[in-house]
Amino acid sequence: MKLSPGLIGKASVILALACCYALPLPAQVDVSKVHQVFSLDYDEQQPLIGPDGRLFFSLAYHPQNNGGEEDPGDIWVGEEKADSFGTPVRIPELSTPHHDLLIGFIHPDTLLVYHQNFQNQQAVYSYFRAGSEWQRGEAQVFPGFKVNGSRFSARLDASGSIMILSMDSFGSYGNEDIYVSFRQGNSWSRPLNLGSGINTAMQELSPFLSADGRRLYYSTNAGGGSKPMAVYFSRRIGAGWRQWSTPSRLDLAPMEGFDLFYTPDPANDRAFFTNTHTSDGYGEILMLGEFKPEAIIEPGIAPLSQPPGEADTAGERVPEIAATTEPAEAAPEIRTSFEALNAGGSVILDRLLFRRGSTALADSSGMAQLEDLAAFLSARPETHISVEGHTDNYGSARLNERLSLDRARKVRELLLDMGVAEDKIRVNGWGGSRPIAPNNTAGGRAKNRRVEIKVLDQ
C-alpha cells in the first residue's frame, strides 16, 4: 500500500492504540448520493473548489507528474461539467518533483502552494495568474515554521486571511496537530496550536475552516470505533482559538479505509472528501450531493483533554497558555535583544516552556526568543555558549538531571535547525542542584525550572 506524504505516518502503530473517544456506530448515509469524481488509478488528495468552480487537487504517482511515477504529489485541476467534472490536467507551473499542495486562493488571481522541497527547503509560495498560466511570486514568511517529517496539509479560509494547518511541529501533542496562522501582507503569524480540545496524542489531519471562521472540520484516528480515520466537527467558542466544543463525528458513507480532506461546498449543496478504501490504498475524491452535514453529526463524543495547567515532573503546575485572540486583536511578538550579553554573562530563556516531563515545547511562544538568539550567534562567529538545563529539586535527582540535560539538548537542536554552527554550542544538565530561588514555594520552584544561556567566550 502506498500513501502520499500528506497522509499517515507511523500508521500501523498509531491506529492500533487505544481510542481516545467513546464513539457509537453512526447511522448510514444514503450511498446513492456518494459519487466518485474522477476515475483515476492514482492517489487523489486535498480537493479544493476554485473561485471559477474548477476542482483542484493533488495527485500522486502519476507518470505525467514532474517527478514521474515516484512524484508524491503534483497539482491537477478538472473542469466542472453539467453534473460531473471532466478529465483533469496537471498544472506544470505549480508543480515540482516533490510533494506540492494547493493551500487556497487569496484572490481569484492569487493562490498559495506548499512545496515540500523547493531549493532544499519547505516553503509556501504565492503564484499569480499570467494569462492562462501561473507565475511564481514571493515566498511566504512564517516565524517558527517547521514541519517534522513529510506529512503536511493546510487550507485558507474563504477570505484568504486565515490559514489552518496540520503538521508535526513545535508544541505538538505527539503527532500531527492542527494550527492556525493569520496573514500579514506577505508574511504570516507564528502558527498557534489549537489546544487539547482539538489535538490529541494521535493524528489530526486535513483541516477545513468554514467561511465564518467558527466551524472546523478535520480527520483524526483518535476516535477508534468502526473507522480508523474519520472526519470530525467542532465549533470555536468565544473570540480566541484554543476553546472548542466537544468534537463530533460526521456520518459519512459507510466505507472502509480513511476519510480525509472533507471540503464542504455549501453554495452548491454538496461536499467533497477523499477515501482510501481501494485495494492499493490510494485516495479517491468523492462528492456528496444534497448533503446536510450538521443533520448527521454524532454528538456527545468526549475528547482527550487535559486540565488547565499541566504538571511538571515533580507534580508542580505550570501556567496555562492564554488563548490567542482574533487577528485584529493579536499582540505583536515580543522580541529579545542579546546585544548586552558578553563573555561570562548569562540569560534565562523565560518564554521557553516545556510540556510535563518531556522535551516537547509546551507551545511556540518561546520560538521567537530562540530565533533572536540564533541571529545573535550567527552574527558573532567568535561567540560560544553553553545551554544549561535546570529543574526544581522535587522528585528523583537522577531523573531531574537527565531531563534537564535532554531539554538543553533540545534547545541546541532547535538552534542548529536555525543555522547556528554546532561547534558554537555546549550543553549541560544540572537537575535541581543549582537553584536560584527557594524550593519551598510554588513561585520559587517555577523560577528554578529554567533553561539558561551562558556565554563562554567572544
Amino acid found at 19 = C
The predicted structure's pLDDT at residue 334: 64
Amino acid found at 287 = M
The predicted structure's pLDDT at residue 32: 57
Q: Is 341 a member of any domain?
A: yes
Q: Is 430 a member of any domain?
A: yes
The predicted structure's pLDDT at residue 400: 86
The predicted structure's pLDDT at residue 90: 95
Question: Number of folded domains in the chain?
Answer: 2
Say if residue 244 is in the same domain as residue 353.
Answer: no
Say if residue 340 is in the same domain as residue 452.
Answer: yes
Q: Apex CA 80: angle with CA 30 and CA 220, to 5°? A: 50
Residue in 308, 320, 324, 265 with CA at minimum distance from that of residue 290: 265
38: CATH: 2.115.10.20
The Cα 61–Cα 44 span in angstroms is 10
Residue in 295, 103, 288, 304 with CA at minimum distance from that of residue 207: 103
Q: Is 27 a member of any domain?
A: yes
Say if residue 294 is in the same domain as residue 337.
Answer: no
Say if residue 181 is in the same domain as residue 273.
Answer: yes
Say if residue 92 is in the same domain as residue 152.
Answer: yes
Say if residue 43 is in the same domain as residue 101.
Answer: yes
Q: Is 318 a member of any domain?
A: no
Here the cell at position 313 is 515532573
Tens digit of each residue's pLDDT, the chain (458 residues): 344 444 443 333 333 333 333 333 333 445 557 788 887 888 999 999 999 999 999 999 999 999 999 999 999 999 988 778 899 999 999 999 999 999 999 999 999 999 998 888 889 999 999 888 999 999 998 887 888 877 899 999 998 999 999 999 877 887 899 999 999 877 898 888 898 889 988 899 999 999 889 999 999 988 777 778 899 999 999 888 988 999 998 878 777 788 999 998 877 888 999 988 765 568 899 988 765 544 344 444 444 333 333 333 333 322 332 333 344 444 455 667 888 888 888 899 988 887 767 787 776 667 878 888 988 888 888 899 999 999 888 878 888 888 899 999 999 988 988 888 888 999 999 998 999 988 888 888 888 888 999 998 76
Instruction: Mention every residue, 6+ apart, whose C-beta is less than 8 A from residue 34.
Output: 253, 286, 287, 288
Say if residue 52 is in the same domain as residue 194.
Answer: yes
User: 371: part of which helix (H) or strand (E)?
Assistant: helix 367-378
State the SS3 of 41-95: CCEEEEEEECCCCCEEEEEECCCCCCCHHHCCCEEEEECECCCCECCCEECHHHC
Say if residue 208 is in the same domain as residue 294.
Answer: yes
The whole domain housing 211 covers: 11-298
The predicted structure's pLDDT at residue 30: 56
How many secondary structure helices (H) and strands (E) does the chain include? 4, 26
Say if residue 209 is in the same domain as residue 350.
Answer: no
Say if residue 278 is in the same domain as residue 227.
Answer: yes
Q: Is 6 a member of any domain?
A: no
Q: Is 321 a member of any domain?
A: no
Say if residue 248 is in the same domain as residue 154.
Answer: yes
- Is the Cβ–Cβ distance between 216 and 178 less than 8 Å? yes
367-378 vs 397-417: helix axis angle to the nearest 10? Answer: 60
The label of the residue with cell 560560544 reads 384
Q: Is 307 a member of any domain?
A: no
Q: How far is CA 85 from CA 36, 39, 52, 163, 267, in A?
A: 10, 11, 13, 27, 17
Say if residue 174 is in the same domain as residue 260.
Answer: yes
Phi and psi at residue 170, to the nearest 5°: -60, 130
Sign of CA dihedral 13, 17, 22, 23: positive
Report, in angstroms and rounded to the nearest whole number, the Rg of the chain calculated over CA atoms: 23
The label of the residue with cell 511570486 reads 137
Amino acid found at 44 = E
State the SS3 of 30-51: CHHHEEECCCCCCEEEEEEECC
The label of the residue with cell 473548489 reads 49
Residue in 91, 96, 103, 102 with CA at minimum distance from that of residue 70: 96
Q: Is 419 a member of any domain?
A: yes
Here the cell at position 92 is 506544470
410: CATH: 3.30.1330.60
Burial bucket for residue 315 (CB in 10 Å: 0-12, 13-18, 19+): exposed
The label of the residue with cell 528523583 reads 396
